[in-house]
Copies of this chain bind each other. A is one copy, B any other.
Amino acid sequence: MTFTASQIAAMINGRIEGNPDAAVGNFGKIEEAREGQLSFLANPKYEEYLYETRASIIIVNEALELKKTVAATLIRVKDAYSAFATLLGKYQEIAQQQLKGIQEPAYISKTAHYGADIFIGAFAYLGENVKVGDHTKIHPQAYIGDNVSIGDHTIVHAGVRILHSCVIGSHVTIHAGTVIGSDGFGFAPQADGTFAKVPQIGNVVIEDHVEIGANATIDRATIGSTIIRSGAKLDNLIQIAHNVEIGNSTVVAAQAGISGSTKVGKGVMIGGQVGIVGHLHIGDGARINAQSGVSKNIEPGKAVTGSPAYDYTSALRSQALNRRLPDLEKRMKELEDELTRLKK
């Protein structure tokens, strides 16, 4: 796909300086861009590149004053970065929509149903009674188990496994290798020291506009559902245990893990490699710093850090003092000596 300066200016409602017929086929950073590429300048500290870049079209801020002549065609907008992001979004949408049809061989059970404008990649598996909505793309080697339903405009990347009876909403993106609906980790200790499996017969429900990273795992509920609410964003390699609930627009960074039955509120920010024990309530808007170990409920809006995690500001002070412990002990020693002298 190639676009001309005038087409692009129309899409982002910008003003052209230079050749309106200049054409680009893809994107590049201003410091690396080659001919036929589109770039942008948002951060003034990169302005020098504006005069050297080989990019054919550059999106710049309305306000920018040129210090030299520029070879490329410029498109001026209010906010160059967000205009550029908008463009990329449209570009990817078009690309996804071009993906259509069914590649051979795919395994599609006779009882599976799918809507219009879908894509099913080679070696993908659709089990019994699977339902796939319109404009949804199931990439190669994905596994959709029996009785799974998936909404519209959802993207299931290569090698994703969605196990039986899970429910996936619309406008959801699940990245490669992620497993949804694996058994929860439930074992009942027996008298002889062994463990008996507690059957996990619930499912996972993922609401609309959720995005889940690569090689993550979300376990099905023991009974009922593990739920990821609308708009939540989960990063790579995260672990969500059975019967957990993640609230609307909550963000979970890479390699974080949330234990069984914990309920996380709305708009919570969970840092990378955070661990949260089971059966807790994390209030709306709480912020949990990277690598924290959460073992208690968190009030709405509270920020915590550390392992075990507690109030962010006090924790930082303790961490600072902790580094000064050698000094603290030295002062202690001095006091003790002084006292001994005094007592003589």
Q: A122-B107, A179-B175, A249-B194 are in contact. Are A213 and B217 (CB under 8 A)?
A: yes
The reply to whether A215 and B215 contact each other, CB–CB distance below 8 Å, is: yes
The reply to whether B161 and A158 contact each other, CB–CB distance below 8 Å, is: yes
Stretch at the interface among A5-13, A46-54, A62-70, A253-261: A253-261
* B residues near A119, Cβ cutoff 8 Å: none
**A177-207 contacts to B (CB < 8 Å):** 177-179, 182-183, 185, 187-188, 193-195, 197-199, 201
User: In the complex, what residue of chain B is closest to A145 when comparing beta carbons?
Assistant: B158
User: Interface code A305-344, partner B: CB below 8 Å = 1, 0 otherwise?
Assistant: 0011010001101110111011011011001101100110
* B residues near A178, Cβ cutoff 8 Å: 215
The reply to whether B182 and A157 contact each other, CB–CB distance below 8 Å, is: yes
The reply to whether A255 and B254 contact each other, CB–CB distance below 8 Å, is: no
- For chain A, the bracket of interface size reads 35 or more
The reply to whether B199 and A177 contact each other, CB–CB distance below 8 Å, is: no
Least distance between A93 CB and chain B CB atoms (Å): 9
Asked if A19 CB lies within 8 Å of chain B CBs, one says no
**A268-310 contacts to B (CB < 8 Å):** 272-273, 275, 277, 290-291, 293, 307-308, 310
User: In the complex, what residue of chain B is closest to A187 when comparing beta carbons?
Assistant: B233
**A88-111 contacts to B (CB < 8 Å):** 88-89, 91-92, 103, 105, 107
The reply to whether B125 and A123 contact each other, CB–CB distance below 8 Å, is: yes
The reply to whether B253 and A277 contact each other, CB–CB distance below 8 Å, is: no
Could you list some 9 contacts between A and B, CB below 8 A? A26-B201, A88-B198, A91-B201, A125-B140, A159-B159, A173-B183, A187-B211, A318-B325, A335-B336
Residues of chain A having any CB pair with chain B under 8 Å: 26-29, 32, 82, 85, 88-89, 91-92, 103, 105, 107, 121-123, 125, 140-141, 143, 145, 157-159, 161, 163, 173, 175-179, 182-183, 185, 187-188, 193-195, 197-199, 201, 209, 211, 213-217, 219, 223-224, 231, 233, 235-237, 239, 241, 249, 251, 253-255, 257, 259, 266-267, 272-273, 275, 277, 290-291, 293, 307-308, 310, 314-315, 317-319, 321-323, 325-326, 328-329, 331-332, 335-336, 338-339, 342-343
A-B interface, 4 closest residue pairs, ranked by CB to CB distance from nearest: A88-B199, A182-B214, A107-B122, A321-B325
